[in-house]
Structure 1
Amino acid sequence: MNRHWCRLTLALLFGLPLTFNASAESAAQAAREWGLIGSWALDCSVPPGQGQGTLLVYEVKPDGHLVHKRDFGDAKDENKVLSAMVSDNGMLHLRVSFSKLKVTREFGVMKQPDGTIRAMYNRNAKEEYTIKDGNFTANGNPSPAQHKCK
């Protein structure tokens, strides 16, 4: 019986790092294949800054992990993408850990016919939405289109 537990423990210890690395690679692969990698903004000609906009960057790090960077002009952060997958309808679903805020958020983006992307939903772990069905829950306005910057 002891030998069985020892084998199970070793399998778990050595198997977990492979699982985490595989999920990191699959998130990066899903984002890459979907076309998310790069910089996105409401208006790429406007530098990030208070009241001017935010630059969102999705990047694959040398270790294979996908990160979500935000540049607000006066503040920047980098957050780990925990998962990324594409559903049958073409929506890219992302789960991001915002470490400084100590919160994990899930959001889905859809490609638009003109090549832009829009957030279709954005929610916290309690499933409290800030964007639902492509609209802000606070005022009902549609989420804006993000353009890929060169």
Structure 2
Amino acid sequence: MKALIQRVKSASVEVEGEITGAINQGILLLLGVEKGDDEAAADKLLKKILGYRIFADSEGKMNLNLQQVNGGLLIVSQFTLVADTRKGLRPSFSSGAPPALGEELYDYFVSQARLLHPDIACGRFAADMQVSLVNDGPVTFWLES
């Protein structure tokens, strides 16, 4: 699994004119599922994201994690994260999980996140989504399971 996380002051996702998820301070997570990913990979990545220290402490240092600041986590599926862009001018998605597996693991990731953290919002798998955010920093990290 691949994740692009951004520290945000606020973020929301809209599908067909309807807001499906919104958070205030927290993390916008763009999540890509690859062939060979499984629930263990999802668990490992989720644990890392919830514990990743990207929020400022009282001295302005990145020492606090999402749970310590009671921030929100907005989870958005994004299959383009798994694209191979090393050759040519068109991305290859051959390493991406088939849609059924991608949806299964995305749903699993969201359900596990809801068990572990109180403020979870999400987009809709495979939908055309419009994501809005106020990036805080900007602070952006690429994570893999």
TM-score between the two structures when normalised by the length of structure 1: 0.24
Larger radius of gyration: 1
Higher relative contact order (CA 8 A, sep 6+): 2
